[in-house]
């Protein structure tokens, strides 16, 4: 389906592909990019001609507002190839709605839905060989918007650049994930931007996460900013806790991102008859459950991390290992969700999206 603006879509193909230069076995998350990228500027109150061009550096003025005030939002999405060579995406409608929600909160103009999907389909058709078959091979897609007005007055930018870049990846974490439960620093506050995928939300976590890393923990599980008594989300993922056979996760709020993988896990749990509670979770409850042996698992859920088991947590200077049972929810949800993503299982929810040149 074409819009007026998309009839002007410009596609400048790369003369040669870098595909054969890539060692796909040693990929570090997000360091290699495909042959093409998408770019669309917002000037004079309108999105301009959308362009796909070879992946390359962009030349910009040092005065761009994004550098000074961090007016920027992004999304994380993935494309998967099934055994027959068909490329799929997972619930891209959710990311489309969320990037515009994030944009609204950061006073960035919304990006047209038709153009978002046309850009994704065109890019994925063009760079189709970069989506590789086989479990664990996946193409991470990063749409983002930055404020490009070259002016340093602290006010909403009048110009923006919407881009999509794509990176072939394997797993996000290279080893075990151990977490620290936050007691001093906070990720988000009521009325703030915690529910938006704002670039600064991530920058603000780097320092406390580095402190955790120095102690041997890879991520921080954030707690509420007022009392630090309630568990919220982790750095790059929503957090799930299994106490006996019940799965528990915090409700989304001003401070917690409405994760696509998170809501998919909840829906799958309900379908599978696994008891799931979406409610506030006290740190004390998890500490107590760890002590009495009822804490069976903690896992993170997110587009980049998929479903990642947490091996231990630390709180108030005490280290709590997690002794997982033989059959974990972590492996069950990872299998159920990736089977849908790679088109290996019936898609009872209608979440798979078929990438095709017929979509533009
Ligand atoms: C994702 O899961 O796609 C995210 O956006 C997290 C990211 C910071 C790696």
What does the pLDDT look like over 221-265, one tens digit per residue? 999 999 999 999 998 999 999 999 999 999 999 999 999 999 999
Which residue has better confidence, 337 or 175?
A: 337
Q: From ligand 1's centre to the CA of 259, what distance in Å?
A: 10
pLDDT of residue 2: 43
pLDDT of residue 1: 42
Mean pLDDT calculated for residue range 16-44 = 97
Nearest CA to ligand 1 atom 5: 76
Average of per-residue pLDDT values in the chain: 96
Tokens of 279: 């409610």
166 close to ligand 1 (CB < 6 Angstrom): no
Task: Provide the pLDDT confidence category of residue 300 given band limits of 50, 70 and 90.
Answer: very high
Are the CB atoms for 128 and 153 separated by under 8 Å? Answer: no
Mean pLDDT calculated for residue range 193-198 = 97
Strands (E), the chain: 10-11, 36-43, 46-47, 51-54, 72-74, 77-81, 87-90, 138-147, 160-169, 177-181, 219-223, 230-234, 237-243, 246-249, 276-278, 281-282, 295-302, 306-315, 318-321, 352-354
Q: From ligand 1's centre to the CA of 28, what distance in Å?
A: 14
Residue with tokens 């409405």: 258
Mean pLDDT calculated for residue range 19-25 = 96
pLDDT at 60 over 70: yes
Q: Which atom number of ligand 1 is nearest to the Cα of residue 259?
A: 2
Mean pLDDT calculated for residue range 330-356 = 98
Q: From ligand 1's centre to the CA of 237, what distance in Å?
A: 7
Region of residue 309 (phi > 0: left; psi between -120 and 50: alpha; otherwise: beta) = beta
Q: What is the C-alpha separation between 232 and 201, in angstroms, rounded?
A: 14
**What residue ranges define each of the domains in the chain, with the CATH number in brackets?**
3-170+353-359 (3.30.470.10), 177-325 (3.20.10.10)
pLDDT at 167 over 80: yes
76 close to ligand 1 (CB < 6 Angstrom): yes
pLDDT of residue 8: 86
Q: What is the C-alpha separation between 250 and 253, in angstroms, rounded?
A: 9
Share of the chain above pLDDT 70, in %: 98
The SS3 call for residue 298 is: strand
pLDDT of residue 3: 46
235 close to ligand 1 (CB < 6 Angstrom): no
pLDDT at 192 over 60: yes
pLDDT of residue 4: 53
pLDDT of residue 7: 64
pLDDT of residue 5: 60
Q: Which atom number of ligand 1 is nearest to the Cα of residue 140?
A: 3
Mean pLDDT calculated for residue range 88-104 = 98
Q: From ligand 1's centre to the CA of 15, what distance in Å?
A: 31
Within 8 A by CB and 6+ apart from 18, the residues are 35
Are the CB atoms for 301 and 202 separated by under 8 Å? Answer: no
Q: What does the radius of gyration of the chain's CA atoms come to, in whole angstroms?
A: 21
pLDDT of residue 73: 98
Share of the chain above pLDDT 90, in %: 97
Mean pLDDT calculated for residue range 87-109 = 98
What does the pLDDT look like over 255-282, one tens digit per residue? 999 999 999 999 999 999 999 999 999 9
Q: What is the C-alpha separation between 141 and 113, in angstroms, rounded?
A: 16
Mean pLDDT calculated for residue range 138-155 = 98
């Amino acid at each position: 389906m074409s819009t007026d603006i998309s009839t002007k879509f410009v596609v400048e193909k790369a003369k040669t592909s870098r595909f054969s230069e890539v060692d796909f076995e040693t990929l570090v998350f997000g360091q290699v990019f495909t042959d093409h990228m998408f770019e669309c500027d917002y000037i004079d109150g309108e999105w301009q001609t959308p362009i796909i061009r070879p992946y390359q550096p962009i030349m910009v003025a040092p005065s761009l507002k994004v550098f000074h005030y961090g007016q920027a939002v992004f999304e994380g999405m993935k494309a998967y190839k099934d055994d027959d060579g068909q490329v799929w995406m997972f619930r891209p409608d959710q990311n489309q709605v969320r990037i515009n929600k994030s944009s609204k909160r950061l006073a960035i103009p919304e990006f047209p839905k038709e153009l978002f999907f046309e850009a994704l389909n065109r890019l994925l058709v063009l760079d189709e060989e970069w989506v590789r078959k086989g479990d664990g091979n996946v193409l991470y897609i990063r749409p983002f918007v930055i404020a490009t007005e070259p002016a340093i007055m602290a006010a909403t930018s009048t110009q923006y650049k919407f881009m999509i870049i794509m990176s072939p990846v394997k797993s996000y974490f290279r080893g075990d994930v151990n977490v620290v439960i936050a007691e001093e620093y906070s990720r988000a506050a009521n009325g703030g931007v915690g529910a938006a995928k704002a670039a600064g939300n991530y920058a603000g976590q780097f320092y406390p996460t580095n402190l955790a890393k120095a102690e041997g923990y890879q991520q921080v599980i954030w707690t509420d900013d007022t009392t630090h008594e309630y568990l919220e989300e982790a750095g790059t993922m929503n957090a799930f806790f299994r106490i006996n056979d019940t799965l528990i996760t915090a409700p989304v709020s001003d401070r917690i991102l409405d994760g696509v993988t998170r809501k998919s896990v909840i829906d799958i749990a309900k379908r599978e008859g696994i008891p799931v509670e979406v409610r506030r979770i006290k740190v004390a409850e998890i500490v107590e459950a760890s002590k009495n042996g009822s804490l069976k698992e903690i896992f993170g859920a997110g587009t980049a991390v998929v479903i990642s088991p947490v091996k231990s947590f630390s709180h108030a200077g005490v280290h709590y290992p997690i002794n997982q049972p033989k059959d974990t929810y972590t492996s069950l949800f990872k299998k159920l969700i990736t089977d849908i993503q790679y088109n290996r299982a019936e898609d009872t929810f209608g979440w798979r999206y078929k990438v095709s040149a017929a979509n533009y």
